[in-house]
Chain A
Amino acid sequence: SSELTQDPAVSVALGQTVRITCQGDSLRTSYASWYQQKPGQAPVLVIYARNNRPSGIPDRFSDSSSGNTASLTITGAQAEDEADYYCNSRDSSGNPVVFGGGTKLTVL
């Protein structure tokens, strides 16, 4: 399969922990990367290569994976974390790059 599936929307209470998942066969052999996109802005990389954070990304963002599922966890969600989140991975079926459909995170 060349698809990555994400829940369309997830909500979390301020200060609580939320997990955003990404499912697809390609995740059995490649790591997911995660992006945060706020309205009107370009995406920002928050996690890559199994739990690596670029400089400036808070450590409340973390990644885990099991089988065909990758999960982005935000521990102690903040109001500024409200955004769309996308995963991507390398695909083995001929398409080098595939993105998930995105998850809209609402912080209540």
Chain B
Amino acid sequence: QVQLQESGPALVKPSETLSLTCTLSGGSISSFYWSWIRQPPGKGLEWIGYIYYSGSSNYDPSLKSRVTISLDTSKNQFSLKLTSVTAADTAVYYCARQNSGTTWDAFDIWGQGTMVTVPS
């Protein structure tokens, strides 16, 4: 059974860098797209970006200047770095497997999510 688990600090100071890691178990990271998605308290889902197993990546335009997603195939992990955080970056951060076809994308496996707070 494929599972994802996020890890990282629960509290990040303003202007610092948020760093999270997602570990895949029960499968190989050497296929599919791997995404980060966040959900501010009481709000909807926001896609942050993805990395393909080949190493190519794509990010939400509104976050692109601050985001880096990287891949470590030897550890079956992928990571998120978000720089210059503010209170607006407070959210539950999810990692997810993105399955894609010619005309569709679906996040079929999700981590349990990790709450990250940036105090104001």
Write out the residue numbers on chain B whose beta carbons fall within 8 Å of the beta carbon of A31. Answer: 103-104
Partner of B104, one of A43, A49, A102: A49
Pair A97/B105 contact, Cβ less than 8 Å: yes
Q: A97-B47, A102-B45 are in contact. Are A33 and B105 (CB under 8 A)?
A: yes
> Once the chains are docked, how many angstroms separate the CA of A95 from the CA of B111?
23
**A68, CB-defined interface residue at 8 Å:** no
Write out the residue numbers on chain B whose beta carbons fall within 8 Å of the beta carbon of A54. Answer: 108
* CB neighbors of A among B69-118 (8 A): 94, 98-99, 101, 103-108, 110-113
Pair B94/A42 contact, Cβ less than 8 Å: yes
Write out the residue numbers on chain B whose beta carbons fall within 8 Å of the beta carbon of A89. Answer: 104-105
> Once the chains are docked, how many angstroms separate the CA of A69 from the CA of B45?
19
Pair B106/A99 contact, Cβ less than 8 Å: no
Pair A96/B50 contact, Cβ less than 8 Å: yes
Residues of B with Cβ closer than 8 Å to A? 35, 44-47, 50, 58, 60-61, 94, 98-99, 101, 103-108, 110-113
Q: Apart from A29-B103, A88-B107, what are 5 other A-B pairs with CB-CB below 8 Å?
A: A42-B111, A43-B107, A49-B103, A88-B106, A96-B105
